[in-house]
Structure formats: C-alpha cells, structure tokens
Structure 1
Amino acid sequence: MPVRVVETTSPSHSSGQDLSSAQPSPPSCSLLCAGRSFCGTQNVSSLQKDEAWKVNVRIQGCDIEHGFLCGTMEALNVPLADTPVVTFWEGEIVDAKNHTFFTGKWEATPEDDIRHWSKFPSFTPLLSQIEDDGGKSLDLSNYPYIFMRWKEQYFVNVGADCGLTIAGFYYVCFSCTDGSISGFYYDPNSSPFQKLELKCVNEKPGGFSFSSYELV
C-alpha cells in the first residue's frame, strides 16, 4: 500500500525434480497457513527521499488446492496517518494449475510479469520453461518456493482518502524453508519495485503481538 507518485510540472534450488511434468500439483507448505503472521518492512523510497514502513501481515484464509489465500496487511508508520493503516488482500498462488506466472489483469503485461518475477533469484531456474510454454508444464509441487500475487481489496480501518493507493498488487515469493517473504509492488502510477521483506513470526508469550480486526 504505497504512496501514489504523481508526475507534475511542479515541485534456486530444484532438488533434481522434473520441472516439466505434464500433471502439476499445487504446492504445499506447512508454514503457509491461516493464522500465520509475518513482520518486516516495505521500502517506499522515491527519488526525493528514502522511506520504509514497518509492515505486519496475517494470513486469514488459505486454500492451497484452489490456489487462493487472503489476509490483512498493517502499515505502522505511514506519514500523515494517525493510526496504523490496515488493508484486506486476496492472493493467487502460482501453481501452473489455477494460476500461471502471467497476471493478465491489473494493467500488468507479460513483460511486466517477467521483469518482476526475475527480481527473485529462485525464479531463475524456471525462466526458460516459462518462456517456452508460459510455465503451464511446470511441476511446482516440491519446489522450495511458492510464488504468489497479492491484491489489496479495501481499507479495513481508514477511508480511501487516507493518502494511500491500493490500485496495484504485489509479486510475492515465499520460502518454504523458513517462512520468509519477499515481494515487489507493481503500479504504473507508483514508485517502481517497492520491496516488501517479511519474516515469519514465532508467536509465543512475550513475543510479537498483532492487532486483531473483524472482517465483515
């Protein structure tokens, strides 16, 4: 949920598996499930200044079989905001079954897709197959990374006039090894390649606390 930038005139690892299986299955990962929380930062720097927001994410629902998940994102130190800004997002899991690496909406072209996915080192071993057939023949079921798109749907606790935009979406890479998340925000009207970096939270007494919100 980056600040919109307006132009004006004034100030990997494959473990030896066959990635060309004709019957791909959805990826599975014990660290990707409803109730899991993550914390980190989103870099929203522009040409004018360096800036990063503290970000918390909680997964509210996850349906691996159908390539769907959803959750909330909380930005804690947003300028001009009196309270943390919370949004609700829905995600697509790239599994070569329900969703491919090509977005096909949200103003993203195939060139935009490849440019953003290529920012993730774990995507490199898959690139040639994607260029060959769009990745439809990939078997990602045992791949140690899960690729996703997260699209914010609405603001939970503030109005749309809060100074932020949710017009774009995130390209996301999730590590099944340690639960870490990296992502890049895409919106033609915002600063490019705003990086999201999150770590899985070990929620124990005295540890990290995440606010609760009722979604209706």
Structure 2
Amino acid sequence: MKTEINPITGGASMARRSFLRYAGASAAAVAVMGAAASCKKDRVSVNSGTDIGSGDIGVLNFAYALEQLEAAFYLQVVATPYSGISSLETAYLTDIRDHEVLHRDFFKAAIGSKAIMALTPDFSKINFSDRTSVLAAAKLFEDTGVQAYDGAGYLIKDPGYLTIAGKIVSVEARHAALISNLITPGSFASDQVDSNGLNKSASIKEILTAANGFLKTKVTANNF
C-alpha cells in the first residue's frame, strides 16, 4: 500500500527553517508581505473549492494554488520512489521537492489571511511506482507552472510582486528543463520555446482548467 503524504504539512519543519532565509534574501519579499497585508480584497470560497480573488492578491493566490499542487506531488514522489529510481534522480527530485515546499510556504506567509484554502490534490491518474508516469506528470506540472507565471505576469502591478514572481519562475524553468532532460536527453526546451525564442504562456483560466484535473478542491478565477 502506498504511503499518503499530507500535501499541506509534509516537509513543513524543513520549509520553515529555510523559508526565513529564502524570504529574507530579497527586499522584494518584504515588499510582497507588506503589500499583501494591506490589501482590501478577500479571497472568496465557493462550493467544494475556492476563488483566487482579484488584483495582485488574486495573482499571488493563483501562484499559491499551483505551488500547493507541485509541492504535494513531489512530496509523494520522494516518499514513494518509483521502481528503479537512481540515486541521482532521487537527489534531483528531492531538490525540486524542497524548492516547491519553500515556494508554497512563501506564498502562504506572504498572502496571510487573504490566502486561499489548503487544497486537496487528486493524483489518481498518476502511477507513482512507474518512472514514465511520474516524469510525465512532473513535466506537465513544471511546463504548466512556467506558462502560468509567464501568462499572468502582465497582470501584476506591484513591482515587488513582479520581482519575486520573476525569481520563482526562473527556478521553475530550471525544474522544467531538468525533468524534460530526464525523459529525453537534450530536450530541455524542445516543445516549450517558440520560434521567437520565447517560452510559451497560458492564461489563468487555461492553467486552472488543467490544474483542476489534479485537484479535489477546485480553484476558480471568476474575476480574471
């Protein structure tokens, strides 16, 4: 029987210790927390789910939803390694897990009382004992994550938010390239970069449509 990992609290002790260093490393992080605390727009709960809200806080909640999903996925991957996993792949996936937990906890702390609820994932479509299934899901999550940040960036008004989003999406793009290379060596940018040398992007609603397929707690963006 597979071990189920709590997607919200798993790895929290490690994340809390590292989060202070992560957030303190950038003045932009401080700006995010200060501005989030003063925002007047609340998130809205909906039946069996939650709405991200609007404005900059809505965009942050959008990112927080995706980071919750990614953190939950990698916590499960590392806790229940697929058959034949190598020590190098274990190290790579553990590093990605740690990054995603930090990102998740960063957004939760930054948004504070305006944050959406803790989401419950649905990974029933993923066979965590099979390398192909796990890496295909990882590629989907990472590619979608980068497209999400790129697609929502223009909506961010606060320069502090935009700075930290740029730093996080840079890490997510590194993850995406690594996962792609684990599947097919040399494929790090083959299907995600367009003819102009730019990464593909997608809208908030397009991304949430895809993400909700892996969430029991559905997320909406009715104000975007």
How high is the TM-score relative to the length of structure 2? 0.26
Normalized per residue, the structure richer in helix is 2
* Bigger Rg, structure 1 or 2: 1
